[in-house]
């Protein structure tokens, strides 16, 4: 399973990467057909964030700790300090790990959005 990642290099510049989250077949209940399921990762906090309509651009920023964001609705365009941009739509998830440096820029779609924010203090050990 592929996951978009935003990370910072030691010099503080942010970049995109795609990481492969390893999966294995697992039946989630006795009568279920097995699904592709990742390992379990420890999370310290889960929050739902409501981004109001009209919130267009968030200036350069970092995250306080590694987080997995899951966009439930709406869209965002991320830009890293190397100038690369990526569009992230509803149903997408992004591992955001740029905890230092310049950070990334977020340009939100005009409609209100809901984002699931999962704090991963140890990141994802793949």
Give the span between the Cα atoms of 79 and 88, in whole angstroms: 11
Domain ranges, ordered by start, for the chain = 2-119
The 10s digit of each residue's pLDDT in 42-76 is: 999 999 999 999 888 789 999 999 999 999 999 99
**Domain 2-119 classification at class level:** mainly beta
Q: Is the pLDDT of residue 119 over 90?
A: yes
Consecutive H or E run containing 95: strand 93-96
pLDDT band with cut points at 50, 70 and 90 for residue 99 = very high
Q: Is 80 within 8 Å of 15 (Cβ atoms)?
A: yes
The 10s digit of each residue's pLDDT in 19-41 is: 999 999 999 888 889 999 999 89
């Amino acid at each position: 399973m592929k996951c978009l990642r935003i990370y910072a290099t030691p010099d503080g510049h942010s970049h995109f990467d795609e990481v492969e989250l390893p999966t294995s077949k697992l039946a989630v209940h006795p009568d279920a057909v097995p699904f592709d399921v990742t390992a379990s990762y420890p999370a310290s906090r889960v929050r739902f964030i409501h981004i109001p309509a009209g919130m267009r651009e968030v200036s350069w920023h970092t995250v306080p700790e590694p987080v997995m964001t899951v966009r439930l609705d709406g869209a965002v365009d991320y830009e890293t300090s190397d100038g690369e941009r990526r569009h992230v739509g509803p149903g997408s998830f992004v591992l955001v790990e740029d905890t230092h440096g310049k950070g990334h820029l977020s340009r939100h779609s005009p409609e209100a959005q809901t984002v699931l924010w999962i704090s991963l203090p140890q990141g994802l050990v793949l």
